Amino acid sequence: MFKKNINLALDTESILKDAQRELALPSRRLFAKRALTLGGLSLLTGCNITDEPSVNSMLERISRMNDGVQGWLFDPKRLAPTYTQAEMTRPFPFNAFYAIEEVPEIDGDDYRLEISGLVSDKRSWTLQQLHKLPQNEQITRHICVEGWSAIGRWGGVPFSYFLKQIGADLSAKYIDFKCGDDYHTSIDMPTALHPQTQLTLTYDGQILPPKYGFPMKLRMPTKLGYKNPKHITSIEVTNSYPGGYWEDQGYNWFGGA
């Protein structure tokens, strides 16, 4: 009993000492400590703010605004850099939202390109008819949204020529593409009319192989990779926002480079 009292007395003394020391500490030191952990706190909450619906809708709104800014920055006459055959990336990487084994096999003889929307000639096109149109070739850089890039040689029909051929309303806002691999995306009219935007039928001088989008893809060196649809089966000219496979999940719609 006696011993315990001594301990208690000692404890009280040391606690008071500690308390006095704490009180003597400038409050600003404590404040600085808390401010430092505030940084840690903001990092922790960073994991959760991404799931917040109001934050997501704000980010979505800013992304739509960035579509507008990119449309304004886009110069319809400025060409993407072109390269020599020696600079080509070999092998050109395969990239899709599925594995290479799942690449669709499309029968070129049965293939029809469907045309709809604001066009005067809605007849569908066979592959042979597309190959008979005037063709050109370009060696350009494909830039992926992930950051990697690769240089490839693409041949086909200038898309602006094709749009005029089908009597498209060139003042319409969007072109929508539906594809044989259940992909879809859409682009703005100024990019569609850009001189380097191409209905692509060949890769490196050969018929477009399935992994790169047989029988036909759209190639745009002014846009990121996911905006370049493969295995296109239908084209629609429209004024209502069509979105796209990745775009509906949060990728920027304009996707310009």
Partner 1 sequence: MKTNIAQLPETIVNQIKPPVVHPIWLRVTHWLNALAVIIMILSGWRIYNASPIFPFRIPSEWTLGGWLGGALQWHFAAMWLLFFNGLVYLLLNTGSGRLWKKFLPLRPTEVVQDFVKALRGKLQHDALDHYNAVQKLAYVSVILDLILLVVSGLAIWKSVQFPLLRELMGGFDNARVVHFCAMSFLVAFIVVHIIMVALVPRTLLAMLRGR
Listed in sequence order, the residues at least 6 apart from 43 whose beta carbon sits closer than 8 Å to its beta carbon are none
Strand partners, 119: 168
131 lines the binding site for partner 1 (CB under 8 A): no
21 lines the binding site for partner 1 (CB under 8 A): no
Token look-up 């045309």 returns 115
**Considering only residues 20, 144, 164, 239, which one is a binding residue for partner 1 as defined by CB under 8 A?**
144
Residue 100: Cβ within 10 Å count:
10
Give the C-alpha separation, 213 to 232, whole Å: 8
Smallest distance from the beta carbon of 250 to partner 1, in angstroms?
4
Binding mask 30-69 for partner 1 (x = CB under 8 A): -xx--xx--x--xx--xx--xx------xxx-xx--x---
Closer CB to partner 1, residue 223 or residue 230?
Answer: 223
90 lines the binding site for partner 1 (CB under 8 A): no
The three-state DSSP-derived secondary structure of 175-244 is EEEEECCCCEEEEEHHHHCCCCCEEEEEECCEECCHHHCCCCEEECCCECHHHCCCCEEEEEEECCCCCC
Q: Select the span of 28-36, 168-176, 177-185, 234-242 touching partner 1 (CB under 8 A).
A: 28-36
Q: Can you give the binding site for partner 1, defined by CB under 8 A?
A: 28-29, 31-32, 35-36, 39, 42-43, 46-47, 50-51, 58-60, 62-63, 66, 70, 73-75, 78, 80-81, 141, 143-149, 221-222, 246, 249-252, 256-257
